[in-house]
Every structure is written in structure tokens, then in C-alpha cells.
Amino acid sequence: MIERDITVKLIDWKQRTNRKPLIIRGARQVGKTWAIENFAKNHFNNYLKINLEEQKGLSKIFEKKDSQSILDELSVFFNITITAGKTLLFFDEIQAVPEAIVNLRYFYEQNPALHIIAAGSLLDHTLDEMKSSMPVGRVEFSNMFPLSFIEFLNACGEHRLVDYLQNFTFEKPFSELIHSKALEYLRLYYFIGGMPEAVATYLEEKNLIDTGRVHGSIVTTLRYDFGKYGSRKEQQILQEVMDFSANNVGRRFKYISVNANLRSEEIKLAFQKLSLSRIIYLINRTLASGVPLAAHIKQNNFKPLFIDIGLANHIGNIQLVSPEDLTTINEGALAEQFIGQELLTLSVPYLDPALFYWSREAKNSNAELDYLFQHNNKIFPIEVKAGKSGTLKSLHVFLHEKNLKTGIRFNTDMPSYGQLTAKVRTGKSDCEIEYGLVSLPLYMCHRLPDMLNQIPT
């Protein structure tokens, strides 16, 4: 059984007296339904799951604004006792009946003690279309993603390795033996990814070929959903943009790069729809003039991040011949994709997840950072390296221009922190900066906030 970290958040939600109906947002097949059902079985006397995509005939009962009347009808129809505090009411694929989303307001106001969770694979499309009738302030949200690397390790039974990583501090040395083991699992994760079905298949069969078949099935399912988005031409554009995003992670986007024969508005709309489906995430360019980073983004300047590293490799037909072999031309993109996915899991669960990068385009002095991270109202530049080496020129430029003192590097070396100096070119002369460098192995991205709390910033 694959345990998900969201269960901890669901337990906290259940125990809060000021809770509201909870909407779980996430892409198709990231495990929303399984996680909610498993939570219901273990933490409630009983639960009622209603798939509103399969049972659209129930839509009429949500036209009324009397939550008790709705509960009474559901209780009789499904022959189940619905008791506040003991029953979980789960509306799956709730986007199929928008009236049910509107009614969450009345459930909250008239039956605040009842536990209600809603989810849906294309939910954000519906939420975007019904902004005016959303039960604002009467519901809360939580995001769900594919399995993080730590969830993957736990699924593999590597609980002691997880404990070792979770308890590491800069005050003690890091084991080279454990570092090698963690890198082996990182290489596996690169190609298995975090989609629950793919992970479960690998754990059962220990065969990457079978895992690839699962990836193919998931990609086909995602493309099947395109039929719900519009015309045949729009579906074709969506597929082109999806494939382009999977093969161009971390690269700055130009509309002409997708298809020179398409209008930019058509491609832009496809990106918006894929983003609402959470198949891709946009890494927005920001000037990073202060916090929040979102206040300083440059519109239409972004890089794509795909939903899952395993699916991205499948679409790009990149195969893992052996866990020790990661020498591909996409090695740098794999590292950026991995860190992007991990950073998403660090986002505040009830807010829309957001990723940022920074670039400067001055004459004879270009600079670009892979990511920026906001922590405790401070900005930290991030450089991602696929191996142990690599220059940090862009990081140095950013620290100098923004007058900041701490940078972050992810690579395949062991964790460290130290005070360093570097020369930065300013105009026709050089200046020297002093800064602290948090250097973490890629597989320890999940510890980033903790590690930043350990250092002087």
C-alpha cells in the first residue's frame, strides 16, 4: 500500500473545529480518489462516495439551497446513515455538476459539523468558468501532486533512509555510502516518476518495461481528456503543446517554437488549458524586486514544467537502460524537472502552487537562474546542476544585484554549507562578493526550508 503525505493534512482538517468543505485539486491519476477513500476508511465510521460524472442524474437535487433536504435524499437513495462527525461525504468528479460546488456554501452554513471533501480531475476548468458563483470563504483547498521523492522512498520500504535524510543537520557528516544509495533511488525515480500506478507497478514487477506501459496508458488517458476541451483542431494543438512541454522542460518558451504555422493566441490558450488541467505548470519569470515574487512576474515570460518526470521521459522516448546510466543529452533538464516537482510539494497547500525563475538580458552580460525560492519573506536564488560541478555565475550576479547573502545549489554532491567569495563583473570592472552557499544533493530538496532555518541568513 502506498501511503500519501496528504493523509496527514486530511487528519488535521478532520480534527479542526473551524474546518470548511475541502476541495482537493490535482491532475488526473495523481491518486486523489484513492487517498480520500483510504482516509475515509481509516478515520470515519462510514463514508459516502458519489461520483457525479457517473451519476449526473443527481444534479437536480443540488438545485435547491436546503442542505438538510439534500442530505435526506442522498441518505435514502444510497441507503446510508449520514451522521455529522461520523460520516465523510465525498463528491468525486464534482466538476460534472457545478451546482454541487455552489451548494458547498450551504453545507458549510447549515451543516458545519459535517465532513465534506470534493475532488475532480478537470475541476480547475469549472472553477475558472464559475468565478462569480464560487462559494468564496465557505470552502478550503488543498493541492495534490504525484508522489514526491520521499513518498517514493517510503513506498519502496526505505523508511530508515527517509529517517536519515529527515534528521540530517549541517552539524554532522553525511555518509558517502548512504549518499550513493540515495542517488541510485533518485535515478530510478527519474524514470519511474511519481504517478501512483507507475510506482505500484514497478514495486510489484520490478520491471521498467511494465512501468513504461503504465506511462503510455496514462498519457493516452490525458490525451483522451482533450476531447472535452474543444474542436479537433484545438485537441491537436493541445497534444502538440503537451509534447513540446515534456521535451522542453526548463527552456524559455517562444510560441513559434511549438509550431510556426499556429497563431500565438491558439498556443497560449492551449497552455492555459493544460495548466488548468495541471498537466503542466508554468515557471514564471519574475524581476524579483521583493516579496511576494508573484507581484513582479513578466507576463508571457515562462518556462514549462511537466506534471511528472516519468511521463516526460516516456513522451521523449528516453529510457533507463540501467540505474547507473543517466548520461543523456537531457540530463540537465531531468534535474530541473525533478527540482521543480519537489518545489511544488513545498508550496502552501491551500494556495495555487507557483514557480519562478529570474533572468537578466543585458548587453554582453546575460544571466539566468533556474528557480527562486521564497522562505520567511526572503528570496533565495537556486542553481540546479545535473552533476557535481558547474559554475554559479548567474547566482553570483543575482546576489550582487539584489544585495542578498545566501544562495542555493542542488547537485549530486553531498550536502554542505559554507561562506564563499566570488568575483562578479560589473560594467568594465570586477567586484568581490561574500555569500553563504547551501549546497544540497538533488534528493534533499524536500528539506530545503529546514536547512535554511539552520543557517544565518
In whole angstroms, what separates CA 225 from the centre of its chain? 20
Same domain, 125 and 212: no
Same domain, 184 and 137: no
Same domain, 270 and 152: yes
Same domain, 197 and 129: no
Same domain, 174 and 294: yes
Q: What is the mean pLDDT of each run of 10 residues along the chain (457 residues)?
A: 92 95 95 96 97 90 91 96 96 94 94 96 83 78 97 97 97 96 95 96 92 95 84 90 91 81 90 93 92 85 94 85 53 92 92 92 79 95 91 94 96 96 83 95 97 89
| pLDDT value of residue 364 | 63
Beta partners for residue 359, in sequence order: 368
Same domain, 211 and 243: yes
How many domains, the chain? 2
Task: Classify the phi-psi angles of 268: left when phi > 0, otherwise alpha if psi is within -120 to 50, otherwise beta.
Answer: alpha
Please report, for residues 45, 83, 121, 137, the alpha-carbon distance to residue 89 in angstroms, rounded to integers and kept in the order given.
12, 10, 18, 20
Closest CA to 190 of 330, 302, 303, 304: 330
Closest CA to 381 of 365, 402, 362, 364: 402
Torsion sign over Cα 96, 99, 101, 104? negative
| pLDDT value of residue 327 | 46
Same domain, 435 and 301: yes
The C-alpha cell 502552501 sits at 348
The C-alpha cell 530510478 sits at 188
Cell of 180: 550513493
| Residues spanned by the domain of 172 | 146-457
User: DSSP secondary structure string, 281-335?
Assistant: EEEEEE---SSSGGGGEEEEEEEEEES-HHHHHHHTT---SSTT----TTHHHHH
| 8 A C-beta contact, residue 242 and residue 280 | yes
434: amino acid identity, one letter: E
Same domain, 139 and 227: no
Q: Find the CATH number of the domain harbouring 50.
A: 3.40.50.300
Beta partners for residue 425, in sequence order: 430
| pLDDT value of residue 251 | 85
Domain assignment present for residue 352? The answer is: yes
| pLDDT value of residue 365 | 66
Element holding 355 (H helix, E strand): strand 355-362
pTM (two decimals): 0.93
Domain assignment present for residue 1? The answer is: no
Cell of 337: 524537472
Same domain, 288 and 373: yes
Same domain, 46 and 150: no
**How many angstroms separate the first and last alpha carbons of the chain?**
41
Domain assignment present for residue 66? The answer is: yes
Task: Classify the phi-psi angles of 419: left when phi > 0, otherwise alpha if psi is within -120 to 50, otherwise beta.
Answer: beta
Same domain, 313 and 274: yes
Domain assignment present for residue 410? The answer is: yes
Domain assignment present for residue 418? The answer is: yes
Domain assignment present for residue 90? The answer is: yes
